[in-house]
Amino acid sequence: MRLISIVTFAALVGTCSSPPPILDQVLETGELRVVTRDSPTAYRIGPNGPSGPEFDLVQAFADDLGVALVIEPVASVSEILPKILSGEAHMAAAGLSITDSRQKYLNFGHPYESVDVHLIYKLGTGKPRSLEEIVGRSIEVMAGSSHVELLESLKESYPELTWTENADIEVAELLAKVAQGEVELTVTDTPDFDIQRHFYPDLRIALDLDLSDPIAWGFPKGSADSLLARADEFLIRAGRVGLLAQVHDRYYGYTKKFDYVGTRNFIRHYKSRLPRYREMFEQAGAEWGVDWRLLAAIGYQESHWRSQAVSPTGVRGIMMLTRDTADYLGLDDRRDPLTSITGGAEYFARQTERVADTVAEPDRTWMALAAYNVGFNHIKDARRIVQWQGGDPDKWIDISEALPLLSQRKWYSRVPFGYARGWEPVLYVNNIRAYYNILKWLTANEDPFADDIDIDTEVASTDT
């Protein structure tokens, strides 16, 4: 009823006067008002301010127009269309699929991404192997989403198919309900699934319901044509100069490498091993200005939080410091947990300081992590290769493509510091990004540690 009232009001207003084109309004007021979803795949407010793939893109678009960006976040996809039709927002940048029902009210711009749509179930609950097998099972989806329309189209062939629509829930919560056994099945797009499966490793894809579903920005019909045209020009240019690829790598680059067993072990070790060292990570992080969870992610990648760890090459301790690094930092006992963690924090902070001032976050952190692993001189060599290839040495996505070339004679013979197993720091960074993301989620949703630590299987074991 609210949507019908808004549409009726908009139609009546339209008969009285013709407002100026929305692009003119944006340029005159100096503000671009954008409605988006509060979601990991769109927009989030964190300790360092707003972030998210949609935010990054639309902020760049606002900068291109020379205006300020005003974000109108909503909790549910069903709230987006009313914001547009009421005039509260000039456009929608919220990971919207182009559907028939939405096209009745919105014009969509140039698709800047495509996603696959999956039916999700929990391992051990019985995998549906055909659409016939989902009939009669509990399915819950977001109200107002494109997934509802997809299920409605399937119902034409499977009349007994039923589902529940929830207007007060986001994809992450739906996937959590499946993981916790509260609902049997849900529908989600690839980006959401790739992120959430790191938190719920028992989630699985049962069926692909749609492939290459286009995602685009939405605009009001009529007066927004000029704004849509400018947005299309911007997105096409963003694809050409690599901005789209950079944003995708920033938020999804780590998600493609998923290790089911490794993720379950990480979550188990978070409960059993990390409590022994958490205060040390927090102390070292505060001392050296590094998020303690990032330090912990480094420590897990290096040693799986084992203070007595020793590699075949002689690196030791939780942070797996070499003898040369320990001497450089003035450390005596690499196996002492506090010494190792503090030394690792200092060493990472020093690598970060060496990264060029022109490198912005989060690329700066990814390059510092790679330097922690392979040495900063090889990062300098990779920057040279990127420059020779005409790329941007300040972007991690370009550096990550150049680093593996350091294992090829045609490239390492041309740079000052020579051969390196350049694929290793790329994998290293991706793993740490995954662990760091899981840690941020776990610490934001944690219960008191002591309530559920598996004493018998972990704490009682030797720390080796």
Q: Which amino acid is located at 152 in the chain?
A: E
User: Which residue pairs from 227-232 have beta carbons closer than 8 angstroms and sit at least 24 positions apart in sequence?
Assistant: 227/21, 227/22, 227/23, 227/26, 227/90, 227/91, 228/107, 228/109, 230/23, 230/65, 231/61, 231/91, 231/109, 231/110, 232/109, 232/110
- Contact between 174 and 140 under an 8 Å Cβ cutoff? The reply is yes
Residue 262 has pLDDT above 60, yes or no: yes
* Residues annotated catalytic, as ranges: 302
In angstroms, rounded to a whole number, what is the distance separating the alpha carbons of residues 406 and 94?
A: 39
In angstroms, rounded to a whole number, what is the distance separating the alpha carbons of residues 392 and 371?
A: 18
Highest-confidence segment of 169-183, 187-201, 228-242: 228-242
Mean pLDDT of the chain: 88
Q: What is the pTM of this model?
A: 0.69
DSSP output for 122-189? ETTS----SGGGGTTS-BEEETTSHHHHHHHHHHTT-TT---EEETT--HHHHHHHHHTTSSSBEEEE
In angstroms, rounded to a whole number, what is the distance separating the alpha carbons of residues 449 and 440?
A: 15
Contacts of 139 (CB under 8 A, 6+ apart): 151, 162, 163, 164, 183, 184, 185, 186, 187
Cα distances (angstroms) measured from residue 27 to each of 32, 73, 119, 406:
8, 22, 43, 48
- Contact between 107 and 221 under an 8 Å Cβ cutoff? The reply is yes
Residue 457 has pLDDT above 70, yes or no: no
Q: What percent of the chain has pLDDT over 70?
A: 90
Residue 6 has pLDDT above 60, yes or no: no
Query: What number of H helices and E strands is found in the chain?
Result: 20, 11
Q: Is 242 left (phi over 0), alpha (psi -120 to 50) or beta?
A: left
In angstroms, rounded to a whole number, what is the distance separating the alpha carbons of residues 267 and 264?
A: 5
Residue 380 has pLDDT above 90, yes or no: yes
Residue 449 has pLDDT above 90, yes or no: no
Mean pLDDT of 159-174: 91
12-62 pLDDT, tens digit per residue, is: 444 445 668 999 999 999 999 999 998 888 998 876 688 899 999 999 999
Q: Which two tokens stand for residue 178?
A: 């499946």
In this prediction, residue 443 carries a pLDDT of 92
In angstroms, rounded to a whole number, what is the distance separating the alpha carbons of residues 440 and 303?
A: 19
125, burial (CB in 10 Å: exposed 0-12, middle 13-18, buried 19+): middle
In this prediction, residue 47 carries a pLDDT of 63
Which residues does residue 187 pair with via DSSP β-bridges, in sequence order? 119
In this prediction, residue 439 carries a pLDDT of 95
Mean pLDDT of 240-267: 83
132-155 pLDDT, tens digit per residue, is: 999 999 999 999 899 999 999 999
In this prediction, residue 402 carries a pLDDT of 95
288-331 pLDDT, tens digit per residue, is: 999 999 999 999 999 999 988 887 667 889 999 988 888 989 98
Q: Tally the C-alpha atoms within 13 A of residue 7's C-alpha that lie toward its C-beta.
A: 9
Fill in the DSSP letter of residue 214.
E
Q: Cα–chain-centroid distance for residue 117? A: 18
Q: What is the band of 224 on the pLDDT scale with cuts at 50, 70, 90?
A: confident
In this prediction, residue 15 carries a pLDDT of 44
Q: Which of the pair, 203 or 462, is modelled with greater confidence? A: 203
* Domains recognised in the chain with CATH numbers: 2-107+216-253 (3.40.190.10), 114-214 (3.40.190.10), 261-459 (1.10.530.10)
In this prediction, residue 445 carries a pLDDT of 78
Residue 462 has pLDDT above 90, yes or no: no
CA neighbor of 60 nearest in space, from 115, 116, 112, 114: 112
Lowest mean pLDDT among 116-120, 194-198, 424-428: 194-198
Residue 270 has pLDDT above 70, yes or no: yes
Q: What is the band of 447 on the pLDDT scale with cuts at 50, 70, 90?
A: low
DSSP output for 194-210? HHHTTT-TTEEEEEEEE
In this prediction, residue 5 carries a pLDDT of 44
Q: What is the band of 9 on the pLDDT scale with cuts at 50, 70, 90?
A: very low
In this prediction, residue 227 carries a pLDDT of 96
Lowest mean pLDDT among 18-32, 65-79, 250-264, 415-429: 250-264
Q: Which two tokens stand for residue 37?
A: 């979803």
Mean pLDDT of 336-365: 95
- The three-class DSSP label of residue 71 is strand
In this prediction, residue 10 carries a pLDDT of 46
CA torsion 79-83-86-91 (nearest 10°) is -140
